[in-house]
Amino acid sequence: MHVKTDNLLLNRYKILSKLGSGGFSDVYKALDTRMERVVAIKQIHVSRHSAPRALREAQTVALLNHPNIVTLHEFEEDGDECYLIMELIEGVPLSKILAKLAPLSTEEAITVATQICRALEAAHLNGVIHRDVKPENVMILHDGRLKVMDFGIAMLKGTAIATSGDIIGTFAYMSPEQARGEPVDERSDIFSLGTVFYEMITGFIPFNGGTAAETLNMVQNVGPDLPSKINPVIPEEIGRCVMRALEKNPQSRYASAADFRTTLESCRSSAKPIEEILSNLINRYISIDEGLGSRKGAGWRGHLWLFLDEHYESITRTTVALLLSLPFLPILKTWFSLPRSIAVFGTAMIFIMVLLQPNYGIGITFFLFLLATIKHSPGLSLILLFFLLPYWALISRRWPSLSVWPIAGALFGLLRIPFVFPILIGLLADPIAAALISGMGCVAFELLNIFLKESTSPELIQGYGLWSLIKDQSNPIFVAQLISGPFLEDRTLFFQPILWSLVAVTTSIVKGNRRWFTAAIAGFIVLTIGYQGLFVVNFNRQEFDMGELMQSLSFSLIILLLLPIFRPPPEDASTGSDLAIDKLTE
């Protein structure tokens, strides 16, 4: 039955607009002409399945009167239709906020979770179990209030399940006992809220398989990773709190939503009012959402950055997987004399491994590279073990994508455009991240040339051919002396990473929100002056030909002047310019 907007519904409600629709219902914004208030009307199309649900939702919500639960005004029936007349709440679902802002700050996540706890406390005191706590059913209003919605599959505690063994709810957020079709109590909602809280602080759903069966198996049998393993800034007490809520055994969870809320509130470090925190969260979402919307009308650049925003994770993972896997193609073919087909297959397996699980995939890739270098130089393998193991444990395991970006410094050297690297990083990252990535990228570039016979950039560093010198060397001390030799011979190699970091920082600071062209020029000027100081003034480089350097710098300048063409649109000043790397460092 279609609701006609030119007639009064139920001789009382004037339909203003349609807000949404689902499998069994439509939701309208309407004016209650009798009470002179705007309401939301949930029109449920009666069927064998929907009629009991509509009646149950009306009965359960009617029991509840709480600021954090949507208010039900009336329940009406008219022929083949049922109508839930509810308060109109205008805000943003938590699911949309997480899609744009996750992970939230600890303060924001605790505030949201404690408000949901209050709603569940009220429901549980009235014997109502929600059974479908998830971000889609949590609405944050513009004035800083929070409402829990959709009690459509809620049940009264102690009542029988409709059909024994039924699995009702959203798989990724349901409790293990709910996934098994068993009777549930308050602790089932606590598990679901724990899943939502985990997603808020990490940006990941802890139980999310490729299929429904895999998800249900994870909910029942697989323990989630510690939140701090995904997001290192999460305090230890917060991690313990969420892990207790996600215990498989209901007896091990918090006994009530009040207990969960009390523990969460004890972890708060701020005295800011709840409404202020939630209002700021909404405003932050709106500013980003408006920025993304403005891109759609900003031509091809707007569409480009909108695409990057929507797919940044998959793009980043793919790039990282390529950077780590492609070197294994020549390694397997040349070092181990494997047929091309097997080398391609092995490289593809490494690519898939890093793509699907970057943090552990990077560690396994490091290990495979260590094993490969044993064939050429056991001494080098031991040195790499000394550096790569702590690098993975301290950096790659926590920030997998960020830890691989410095490899691009060597790649830019192979492409004969090393000068572009620090400026490009400065355009994409904040100053601190830009400095670290550029400095480490410069070291990667220098080491590449030290091992090659012919330098990729002779005006910056000569090729030392160490790869052939360390062949079959098993003494790591001797190998370390060979590697450190060029740095001792040419002190420029010590100061060049500092220069690249300075260039990246200058570029990032000057860039601000959208001054890409000015920032690229500023970075280029610092780069030119810096190399003049390094190579002309001192450091035993009197024989250096400054003309070759200026020729390379001129070629790089042409590329750098093209980069601002791809800058984010001006309307996107607050959201997009640091997309590529800043999101990796959150």
Enumerate the active-site residues: 132
With b for 16 or more beta-carbon neighbours within 10 A and e for fewer, the 32-71 pattern comes to beeeeeebbbbbbebeeebbebbebbbebbbbbebebbbb
Residue 6 vs residues 15, 40, 525: alpha-carbon distances, Å? 8, 17, 67
Judge contact between 323 and 404, C-beta under 8 A. Answer: yes
- Supply 254's token pair: 């918090």
Question: Do 309 and 576 contact (CB within 8 A), yes or no?
Answer: yes
Q: Where do we find the tokens 């393993």?
A: 229
**Residue 283: partners with Cβ closer than 8 Å, 6 or more residues away:** none
For 37-76, the three-class secondary structure string (H helix, E strand, C coil) is: EEEEEEEEECCCCHHHHHHHHHHHHHCCCCCCECCEEEEE
- Coil/strand/helix, residue 456: coil
Complete DSSP assignment for 80-136: TEEEEEEE---EEEHHHHHHHHPSPPHHHHHHHHHHHHHHHHHHHHTTEE----SGG
- Under 8 Å between Cβ of 567 and 301: yes
Angstrom CA distances, 49 to 82, 109, 149, 409, stand at 13, 35, 20, 60
Cα distance between residue 260 and residue 138, in whole Å: 18
How many other β-carbons are positioned within 10 Å of the β-carbon of residue 547? 9
Kindly state the tokens that stand for 35: 């009470």
Peptide linkage before 273 cis (omega within 30 of 0): no
What tokens were used for 346? 């092995």
The residue written with tokens 């309208």 in the block is: 28
Please, which residues bridge with residue 82 across strands?
44, 77
Angstrom distances, CA of residue 553 to CA of 41, 420, 524, 564: 66, 9, 8, 18
CB atoms within 10 A of CB 514: 19
Residues in the chain: 586
* 118, HSE (Cβ side, Cα atoms, 13 Å): 16
Helix (H, G, I), strand (E, B) or coil at 306: helix
